[in-house]
Chains A and B, each alone.
Chain A
Amino acid sequence: MKALAARRHDRRAPALLLLLALLLVGAVYAVVAPSSAQAATKTATADDIAAGEKLFQANCSTCHGPSAAGTDSAPSLIGVGAAAVDFQVGTGRMPMQMSGPQAQAKPVQFTDEQIAQLAAYVASLGAGPSIPTSEMVDPALGDSASGMALFRTNCAMCHNAIGAGGALSQGKFAPNLWGTTPTHLYEAMLTGPQSMPVFNDANLTPEEKRDIIAFIDEQGNGSPGGLDLGSLGPVSEGLWAWVVGLGLLLGLSVWIGAKSS
Chain B
Amino acid sequence: MSTPHDSHQELSVSGGQAQPPARFENPGLHEHKPRQADVDPRVTKRVERQVLLLLTLSILGTIAVVWAYFALPPGDTVGSMRLSNLVLGVGLAVCLLGIGIGGNYYIKLLMSNREYVEERHEIRSSDETREIAVQMLKDGGEDSGLTRRGAIIGAGVTALALFPLSLLVPLIGNVGEDWNVRKFKHTIWKKGTRLATDPTGRPIKASDVTIGDVWHVIPESLEDLHEGKLDEKAKAVVLLVRLDPRDLKSDQSPEGETWSHDGIVAYSKICTHVGCPVALYEQQTHHLLCPCHQSTFDVADSCKVVFGPAKRPLPQLPITVDDEGYLVAQGDFAEPIGPSFWERATK
- Contact flag A157-B280 (CB < 8 Å), given A222-B78, A223-B78, A260-B109: yes
Evaluate contact between B82 and A225: CB separation under 8 angstroms: yes
Which residue of chain A has its CB nearest to the CB of B197? Answer: A203
Expressed in whole angstroms, the minimum distance between the Cβ of B305 and any Cβ of chain A is: 12
Q: Quick one: CB contact mask for A162-180 with B, threshold 8 Å, 1 for yes?
A: 0000101100101000000
Instruction: Look across to chain A and name the residue whose beta carbon is closest to the beta carbon of B282.
Output: A195
Is there an interface contact between B85 and A224, defined as CB atoms closer than 8 Å? yes
B208→A202 contact, CB < 8 A: yes
User: Is B307 in contact with A226, judged by CB distance below 8 angstroms?
Assistant: no
Binary interface profile of A, 94-117, with partner B (CB < 8 Å = 1, else 0)?
A: 000000000000000000000000
**Residue ID in chain A nearest B294 by CB atoms:** A169
Main secondary structure on chain B at its contact with chain A? mixed
In the complex, how many angstroms separate the beta carbon of A72 from the nearest chain B beta carbon?
A: 14
- B85 close to A197 (CB less than 8 A): no
Given A168-B280, A195-B282, A260-B108; A202-B205 close (CB under 8 Å) = yes
Is A260 a contact of B79 with CB atoms below 8 Å? no
* Smallest CB separation, B309 vs chain A (Å): 14
The B183-201 residues at the A interface (CB cut-off 8 A) are 197-200
A154 touches B216 (CB 8 A): yes
Q: Are B104 and A197 touching (Cβ within 8 A)? A: no
Residue numbers in B under 8 Å from A196 (CB-CB): 283
B214 at the interface (CB under 8 A from A): yes
Question: In this assembly, does A241 line the interface, its C-beta being within 8 Å of a C-beta of chain B?
Answer: no
- Selecting from B19-27, B165-173, B284-292, the interface stretch reads B284-292
Asked if B35 CB lies within 8 Å of chain A CBs, one says yes
Chain A residues, Cβ within 8 Å of B35: 260-261
A32 contacts partner chain B, Cβ-Cβ < 8 Å: no
Contact check, B281 vs A153: say whether CB atoms are below 8 A apart.
Answer: no
How many residues of chain A have a CB within 8 Å of chain B? 35
- A166 CA to B289 CA, complexed, in Å: 12
For the complex, give the distance between the alpha carbons of A158 and B283 in Å.
12
Name the contact of A169 in the complex, choosing from B82, B277, B289 (C-beta under 8 A). Answer: B289
Contact A226 B85 (CB under 8 A): yes
Which B residues touch A200, using CB under 8 A?
208, 210, 213
Contact string, B96-118, partner A, CB cutoff 8 A, digits 1/0? 00000100100011000100000
Identify A203's interface contact among B36, B208, B289, CB under 8 A.
Answer: B208
Say which residue of B89, B212, B289, B294 sits within 8 Å of A198 (CB atoms): B212
Q: Is the CB of A223 within 8 A of B212?
A: no
Bound-state CA distance A157–B288 (Å) is 11
Q: Is B296 an interface residue (CB 8 A)?
A: yes
Task: Give complex CA distance A245, B85 in Å.
Answer: 18
**Please, which residues of chain B bring their CB within 8 A of the CB of A198?**
210, 212-214, 283
In the assembled complex, B53 has its CB within 8 A of some CB on chain A: no
Which residues on the A side are within 8 Å of B74 (C-beta)?
224
Query: B153: shortest Cβ distance to chain A, in Å?
Result: 54
Q: A157-B291, A168-B282, A261-B36 given as contacts; is B212 within 8 A of A197 (CB)?
A: yes
Docked complex Cα distance between A199 and B241 (Å)? 11
B85 touching A225 by the CB < 8 A rule? yes
Asked if B59 CB lies within 8 Å of chain A CBs, one says: no
Complex: chain B residue closest to A221, CB-CB: B78
Q: Is the CB of B214 within 8 A of A197?
A: yes
- Nearest to A157 among chain B residues (CB) is B279
Q: Is A149 an interface residue (CB 8 A)?
A: yes
Indicate if A11 sits at the interface (CB-CB under 8 A).
no
A9 within 8 Å of B (CB atoms): no
- Contact of A192 with B by CB under 8 A: yes
* Chain B residue at minimal CB-CB distance from A191: B212
A194 within 8 A of B: yes
Whole-angstrom CA separation of A92 from B198 in the bound complex: 33
A259 and B282 within 8 A (CB)? no
Which residues on the B side are within 8 Å of A203 (C-beta)? 197, 208-209, 213, 215
A260–B36 alpha-carbon span in the complex (Å): 9
Q: How far is the CA of A226 from the CA of B83 in the complex (A)?
A: 8
Q: Is B86 an interface residue (CB 8 A)?
A: yes
Chain A proximity of B209: nearest CB distance (Å): 8
- CB pair B78–A192 under 8 Å, yes or no, is no
CB contact list, A228-261 vs B, under 8 A: 252, 255-256, 258-261
Asked if B197 contacts A192 (CB within 8 A), the reply is: no
Supply 16 A–B pairs (Cβ within 8 Å), ascending by A: A154-B216, A157-B280, A172-B282, A192-B213, A195-B282, A198-B283, A199-B214, A200-B213, A202-B204, A202-B208, A224-B74, A224-B78, A224-B81, A226-B82, A255-B104, A260-B36
Residues of B with Cβ closer than 8 Å to A? 35-37, 74, 77-79, 81-82, 85-86, 89, 101, 104, 108-109, 113, 197-200, 204-205, 208-210, 212-216, 241, 277, 279-285, 287, 289, 291, 294, 296, 307
Extra inter-chain contacts (12) besides given A200-B213, A202-B209, CB under 8 Å? A169-B294, A172-B282, A195-B285, A197-B281, A197-B283, A198-B283, A200-B210, A202-B204, A203-B209, A208-B200, A225-B85, A226-B82
